[in-house]
Amino acid sequence: MADPTIPILDMRGVSKTYLSKGRATEALRGANLTVRRGEFVCLLGASGCGKSTLLRIAAGFEAPTGGEALMWDKPIPGPGPSRGMVFQDYGLFPWLTVRDNIGFGPQSRGRPAAEVRETVERYIALVGLQAFADAHPHQLSGGMKQRVAIARVLANEAEVVLMDEPFGALDAMTRERLQDELLDLWARTGLTVLFVTHAIEEAIFLADRVVMMSPGPGRIEAVHGIDLPRRRDVSSPAFNDLRRMLAAQLHSHHAPKAA
Ligand SMILES: Nc1ncnc2c1ncn2[C@@H]1O[C@H](COP(=O)(O)OP(=O)(O)OP(=O)(O)O)[C@@H](O)[C@H]1O
Ligand SMILES: [Mg+2]
């Protein structure tokens, strides 16, 4: 068992410079972030500030060009099932049913068939898709597809769920419902979530801590603890104060440069 006193994710001075077509882009400079088990952390910032880059480094899709990215105190060696990624465009296999999409991970890792079946049914129930178990992704709404994507990551025994603007393509009502469902899942399972968004309200509604990033090069500018009781009231004065404060910080990154 991993030692729960050790941070589950630990980014120490993480930098990333991409080289493509002879050009270097400094996407991330010196990011320090510690995520403890069971935390819900949101990365918030304008386009291009390195949110996806930081998430992809945590996933193991990218290696840092400077600093260290650790999970349970060990360098992240590459992608692995303990860090499941959920994308805005779902990333489901279109030729598989809901059931087979969710079972794909445990099955390909050689879990016994009976165990896979049990796991799949448990997670289908957890995300409320029993009636759609035999449907294919094209038969589902966006919200349902995102539930399948979340169930698939959980069925694969993810300890950390990495979500890159997962609700960005959904209409406002579906998005709000999925935010509630995600918080409910998080509370019931003790998952650790690292969630990218550029929506201030979404970050305040969801997170224990909001990590404000700024561009040019991407940096972590501030980390704000959100200690409002859940379920959070988006119309409360305290919520509004946070919204104003974060908006001012976010928009300061777009301030026109003095001539
Ligand atoms: N594979 C890549 N090759 C070259 N440059 C890249 C690559 N991926 C990202 N970048 C650059 O790195 C910077 C940070 O990109 P990143 O995708 O991490 O930002 P982001 O905060 O997720 O933005 P968005 O909100 O638009 O998704 C940008 O300038 C981007 O153009
Ligand atoms: Mg991004």
Query: pLDDT (tens digit, 9 = 90+) per residue, 203-243?
Result: 999 999 999 999 999 999 999 999 999 999 999 999 999 99
Is the model's pLDDT at 189 over the cut of 60?
Answer: yes
Place 256 in a pLDDT band, splitting at 50, 70 and 90.
low
State the pLDDT confidence band at 257, using cuts at 50, 70 and 90.
Answer: low
Token pair belonging to 231 = 């379920």
The C-alpha angle 67, 62, 48, rounded to 5 degrees, equals: 85
Report CA-CA distances (Å) from 256 to 125, 184, 253, 259: 50, 41, 9, 9
Ligand 1 centroid to 36 CA: how many Å?
26
> What is residue 255's predicted lDDT score, i.e. its pLDDT?
56
Give the pLDDT mean for 133-162.
94
- What residue's CA is closest to ligand 1, atom 2? 18
Q: Per DSSP, what are the bridge partners of residue 83?
A: 160
- Domains of the chain, by residue range, sit at 1-82+159-259, 91-157
- Please say if the pLDDT value at position 190 is more than 70: yes
User: In the numeric block, which tokens belong to residue 40?
Assistant: 């819900």
Residue 58 Cα to ligand 1 midpoint, Å, equals: 15
Name the closest-CA residue to atom 24, ligand 1: 47
For the stretch 14-44, pLDDT in tens is: 999 999 999 999 999 999 999 999 999 999 9
CB-based pocket (< 6 A), ligand 1: 18, 20, 25, 27, 45, 47-53, 198, 218
In angstroms, rounded to a whole number, what is the distance separating the alpha carbons of residues 64 and 56? 10
CB 59 within 8 A of CB 162: yes
Give me the architecture of the 1-82+159-259 domain, per CATH: 3-Layer(aba) Sandwich (3.40)
User: Using CA positions, which residue lies closest to atom 18 of ligand 1?
Assistant: 50
Which among 23, 25, 250 is the best mutation to test ligand 1's pocket, defined by most ligand atoms within 8 Å of the CB?
Answer: 25
Lowest mean pLDDT among 39-48, 83-92, 100-109: 83-92
Nearest residue to 8 (alpha-carbon basis) of 212, 218, 161, 170: 161
Residue 116 has pLDDT above 90, yes or no: yes
Is the CB of residue 183 less than 8 Å from the CB of residue 172?
Answer: no
Residue type, 223: V
Rounded Cα distance, 174 and 150, in Å = 15
Q: Are 71 and 152 contacting, i.e. CB atoms less than 8 angstroms apart?
A: no
The pair of structure tokens assigned to 118 is 């049990």
- The chain-wide mean pLDDT, for the chain, equals 94
Of ligand 1's atoms, which has the minimum distance to the CA of residue 55?
Answer: 18
- Residue 90, pLDDT > 90, answer no
Say if CB 259 and CB 232 are below 8 A apart. no
- The alpha carbon of 185 and the centre of ligand 2 are apart by a number of angstroms equal to 24
- Give me the residue label for tokens 């992704």: 137
Any idea which ligand is nearest the CA of 215? 1
- Quote the percentage of the chain above a pLDDT of 70: 97
Distance CA 145, CA 87 (A): 11
Q: Supply the pLDDT for residue 167.
A: 92
